[in-house]
Amino acid sequence: MATVLLIGTLDTKGPETAYLRERVQALGCDALVLDSGILGEAVGIEADFNRRAVAEAAGSTIDALRTAGSRGKAVEEMLKGVRAITLDLFQAGRIHGVAALGGAEGSVLAAAAMKVLPVGFPKLIVSPIASGQRKFAPFVGTKDVLVMHSIVDILGLNPISRAVFDSAAAAITGMAHAYATRAPIKADKPAIAATMLGNTTKPLMRVRPKVEAEGYDFVIFHANGVGGVAMDELIRQGYFAAVLDYTLSEIAAYIAGGFHNGGATRMDAAAETGVTQLIVPGCLDFIVFGAKHEVPETLRDRPTYYHNPEFTLVRLTADEQIRATEHLLSKINAATGQVQVLVPLRGGSVMDIDGGAFWQPELNQTCWDLLKNGLKPGIQYTEVDAHINEDRFADATFDALKNLLRT
C-alpha cells in the first residue's frame, strides 16, 4: 500500500493535518505525520515523528532551538531535521508521496524536504501564500513540487478549507498510488540537454527530431533562471551525454539583472564534469522584466520589446553585453571536456536582427571577436552567416552537434 508523509507545524496546523490524514487514509493510502513545529506542542494529533525527534535529526534539541535567538535561526536548523527524516524514509522505500499544509514557515520547512527528493516523486504543498502575488522559488526550487493555493488561511475547518483539503488529499493519494505501482523509469537511450526560450523555439523545434532520429532523447530546459540551474543539477547527476546551450539569457541576467538570473555558477556543471558542450551565444543581448509598467524606471530609456502582456525584454548596454561575453568566455575556457562555440553572425535573438530594435552589429562583432580571440587552444570556434532562428543555422547546429558526439 502506498504511504504519504504529511509534514506540518502541528502546534498551529494540528487539526487541519489530522483532517488531511483522515482523507488520505479514506482514499486508500497509509499516512505518516512529521511535526515540523518548534514553539508549541502538537494540537489535536499525535505525530509519528514528533518535533523532538526532528530536532535531534538536525543534530540539536527542541529546547536549544526554542532559545536560538531568532525564529529564522530556529527554522533554519529545524529544516535540517525535516529534510533528514524525509530523505531517510524515501531511501528506505517507506513513502511514496509527501504533502504539507503550511503558512510561510510551514511551507518553507516542508519545501526543504521536497527539494532533496528526486524528480517524479510526488510532492504537494497547500498554502495561502501560493498565489500569483508571491514568488514560488522558495517552495519549488528546481524540483517538480505541486503548489496549491489554499484560498483561506490554514486555521480551522470550514466548507472552503475542506473542499481544498479534499482535493489535496485526492491529488497526493492519486500520485502516491501511481508512484508505488509504476515500474521505475529508466532511460533506454542517451540524452542531450538543451536550453530554449520563446526567442529560440523555432530552431530547436527543427533540431529536436533530427537529434531523436540519431537515437538520443532531447531534453529542453526553459532558460528562465530556473531551467538552466535545474539542467546543471542533472548534468552533475550524469543524466546527459551532451549539452546544447543554445540560449544564454541566464548569463545576461546574471550580469545585468532581470528575472532570468541563473547565478554565478551557471554552466559550471558541464565544465567540471567534462560533458560535451555545443555553445551558441543566443539571447545574450537582453534581460527580462514583467509588464511594461514594471520595468525599472532607470531602464525605460533603453530599447525594449513587447514579448507578451506579462514580459518585457530590455536591451543590454554595450558594456553589459561585453561583460556578459567575457563571463561566458571564462565559463567556456573552464571546460574539461570537448567544446565547440557556434556563432550566428546575423543575430542571436528575435529582435537582434537587421531592422530589429536590438540590432547592433558592430557591438555583436566586438563580442564575437572577444570569443574567437579569447578561447583557449583546443576549443573550436565556428561562425555561420545566418540568424539564430534561420533553418540554415539550426541545421548547422545539428551538424556540429552530431560531429561532436561522433568524436
Fold of 3-181: Rossmann fold (3.40.50)
Amino acid identity, position 163: A
Cβ-proximal residues to 335 (8 Å cutoff; 6+ apart), any chain = 270, 271, 274, 277, 379
Cα-based angle 8, 149, 112 (whole degrees, multiple of 5): 40
CATH superfamily of 191-406: Uncharacterised protein family UPF0261, NC domain (3.40.50.12030)
Read off the C-alpha cell for 400.
556540429
What does each of the 407 residues of the chain score in pLDDT, given as a tens digit? 999 999 999 999 999 999 999 999 999 999 999 999 988 889 999 999 999 999 999 999 998 888 876 777 888 889 999 999 999 999 999 999 999 998 888 888 899 999 999 999 999 999 988 776 566 777 788 889 999 999 999 989 999 999 999 999 999 999 999 999 987 767 789 999 999 999 999 999 999 999 999 999 999 999 999 999 999 999 999 999 999 999 999 999 999 999 999 999 999 999 999 999 999 999 999 999 988 888 999 999 999 998 888 899 999 999 999 999 999 999 999 999 999 999 999 999 999 999 999 999 999 999 999 999 999 999 999 999 999 999 999 999 999 999 999 98
CA distances (Å), 383 to each of 201, 203, 328, 396, in order?
21, 17, 17, 10
Q: Do domains 3-181 and 191-406 have the same CATH topology?
A: yes
Domains in the chain: boundaries: 3-181, 191-406
